[in-house]
Structure 1
């Protein structure tokens, strides 16, 4: 099996068997994002416990790429610190904006390396980034809310 076929299998597996799907309580922040180019949508909730991303839950409609990206996001950031989560976001964005020229670090990105092929198609990059941008916004809101509550 070649690498591209393996990456396609990873994306399809996350699409068919999504991790973290279904909106859950408790949560500190919820955002709704839409990709106007293709109509993909995601509502994403973040639960932060101190410095830790305790849960990411979502309800998504759209292509296999956006939905698989949400599943991979859940696997990567839940249990990590917010700082580690944002570092993963930076790594994933670099991969997606590299137009297929960035060699992903499997030890860091795990299943997210499967999106390396997607980076070659600019129209699909927005699909892969949709859940990550929703997570970034929701997490920023959750952290700001927690900071206000402590003040």
Structure 2
């Protein structure tokens, strides 16, 4: 496994990024306990809250493939996110988009966007830009009308 990448960072940084960006619909972070429990159930192997904390903080950095697959499944990212710098960098960018969309209240759309191609993500960006432009124009018209 590649532990360091230009953008992907260490395994701990990659896991922490998932916790920071992928949130509950109400915006709260998932706890180590609930993620560890789900990973235990998904992998069929031991996966304690302490072990997850150690992975998040870099105190442990050599998890099994099944543990990483369980984490990937929980956070809905491909397992390559943990293994390869190129995909990790791309996914990190997509996670940033996911965070921005989550903050805008459209988490479900963001989760679907994670699997889109760069062209698909570009189309979404174009649509957002067009909507934002229309809203700015409408706000400007409203300000103009209020001044009259």
Higher RCO, Cα 8 Å, sep 6+: 1
User: Which one has the bigger helix percentage?
Assistant: 2
**Comparing both structures, which one devotes a greater share of its residues to strand?**
1
TM over 0.5: no
Rg larger in structure: 2
